[in-house]
């Protein structure tokens, strides 16, 4: 076969990494020891790049619920919800999510990525307009592509720019779909949700908020930035994932629309993807029961985030945002970021390497995700590993 031009750029990156001898995308955690520790290449490693914000992956009640479901309902559904894979637990989880958010109904998807893909493509079509934050996650961009809608980007976290672009649409601004994220995964910065809600009300637009990185973390009951800002009732659709604070796999959307029951059948990712395994559903339901009352975990997470942020700031690193579950260290040069990431891994700390074009401002960064399960000693060890990089460069 001829060389696929779409793969040439990817192949070039692989060849570059092979030349350098560093492959951040091929890391294998050989053994998980706890929510915050693992073995990588035989080395005891602090996991600071897993998004396990509340440390739920080893929660005893969640593990027990999964084990019971595995024994009573088997390993999988072997089909989509539409065809043959909808169990009672799937619907019960949807009702749990709706009650948790105080919304009318919910739809559960097999991944968080598919939640955005499925909802955006179901809510908008070729004759519609979707306005998205310029720093939106790939799943939001891909949902727009699948919808075929006219897609307009507005400046990151800029409500005035959103209003300007809606104003240009005239009468079409009414019912246009606006998509923002509560916390942005690259830098950890929050959306000004009050301002976006004001714009939504002014123009009559529909607002969808992706709370993937803020669910469980922010808000009085952990319902995200919209709850923290006091505007949850004004958000039309909330999309989220089970793979962060809930410590599992899957995604969802909650909303008050009369169309919630119809939207699932208009969503191709929902209709044509195998549904979540019973053990996943059971563990997620158990984790969700704990989320509203997890004030102690949220407090511990915030304390850990502040400790890490302060430690890295004291070392002179440029950080992406105020203390949050996501703490991003801005590096700039891609090659330096690669070597920095490899240095940390060899010093027993695993973080995420992010490079353009996935990053804002065309700048490489090292992304730490803080967990409530991290100990103060582990946070200090992460800071020490970052601090050792200065000496290693000299």
* Catalytically active residues, by annotation: 185, 213, 244
| Distance separating alpha carbons of residues 186 and 209, to the nearest angstrom | 17
Strand order in the sheet with 349-350: 31-34, 37-40, 43-47, 349-350
Please report the DSSP string for 363-380 in residue order: -EEEEEE--TT--HHHHH
Prior bond of 170 cis (ω within 30°)? no
Q: Quick one: which of 216, 224, 219, 264 has its CA closest to 242?
A: 216
The set of residues, in sequence order, having a beta carbon less than 8 Å from that of 76 and lying 6+ positions away, is 274, 277, 278
Cβ distance 249 to 276 under 8 Å?
yes
| Distance separating alpha carbons of residues 132 and 118, to the nearest angstrom | 16
The set of residues, in sequence order, having a beta carbon less than 8 Å from that of 363 and lying 6+ positions away, is 330, 331, 332, 356
SS3 60: helix
| Distance separating alpha carbons of residues 40 and 140, to the nearest angstrom | 32
Cβ distance 287 to 270 under 8 Å?
no
């Amino acid at each position: 076969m001829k060389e696929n031009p779409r793969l040439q750029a990817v192949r070039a990156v692989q060849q570059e990494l092979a030349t350098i001898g560093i492959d951040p995308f091929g890391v294998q955690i050989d053994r998980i020891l706890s929510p915050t520790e693992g073995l990588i290449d035989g080395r005891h490693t602090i996991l600071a790049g897993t998004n396990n914000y509340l440390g739920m992956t080893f929660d005893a009640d969640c593990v027990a619920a999964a084990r019971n479901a595995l024994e009573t309902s088997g390993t999988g559904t072997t089909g989509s919800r539409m065809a043959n894979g909808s169990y009672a637990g799937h619907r019960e989880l949807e009702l749990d999510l709706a009650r948790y958010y105080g919304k009318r109904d919910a739809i559960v998807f097999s991944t968080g990525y598919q939640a955005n893909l499925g909802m955006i493509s179901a809510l908008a079509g070729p004759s519609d307009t979707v306005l998205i934050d310029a720093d939106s996650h790939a799943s939001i961009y891909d949902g727009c592509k699948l919808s075929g809608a006219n897609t307009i980007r507005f400046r990151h976290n800029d409500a005035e720019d959103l209003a300007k672009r809606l104003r240009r649409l005239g009468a079409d601004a009414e019912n246009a779909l606006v998509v923002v994220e509560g916390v942005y995964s690259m830098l950890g910065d929050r959306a000004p949700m009050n301002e976006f809600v004001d714009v939504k009300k002014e123009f009559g637009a529909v607002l969808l908020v992706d709370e993937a990185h803020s669910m469980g973390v922010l808000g009085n009951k952990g319902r995200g930035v919209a709850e923290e800002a006091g505007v949850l009732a004004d958000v039309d659709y909330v999309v989220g994932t089970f793979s962060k604070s809930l410590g599992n796999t899957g995604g969802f959307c909650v909303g008050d629309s009369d169309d919630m029951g119809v939207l699932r059948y208009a969503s191709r990712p929902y209709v044509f993807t195998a549904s979540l395994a019973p053990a996943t559903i059971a563990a997620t339901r158990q984790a969700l029961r704990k989320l509203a009352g997890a004030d102690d975990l949220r407090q511990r997470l915030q304390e850990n985030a502040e400790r890490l942020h302060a430690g890295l700031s004291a070392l002179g690193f440029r950080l992406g945002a105020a203390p949050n579950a996501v703490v991003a260290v801005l590096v700039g040069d891609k090659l330096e970021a690669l070597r920095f990431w490899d240095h940390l891994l060899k010093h027993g700390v695993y973080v995420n390497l992010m490079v353009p074009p996935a990053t804002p401002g065309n700048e490489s960064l090292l992304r730490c995700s803080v967990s409530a399960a991290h100990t103060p000693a582990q946070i200090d060890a992460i800071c020490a590993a970052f601090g050792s990089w200065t000496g290693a460069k000299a």
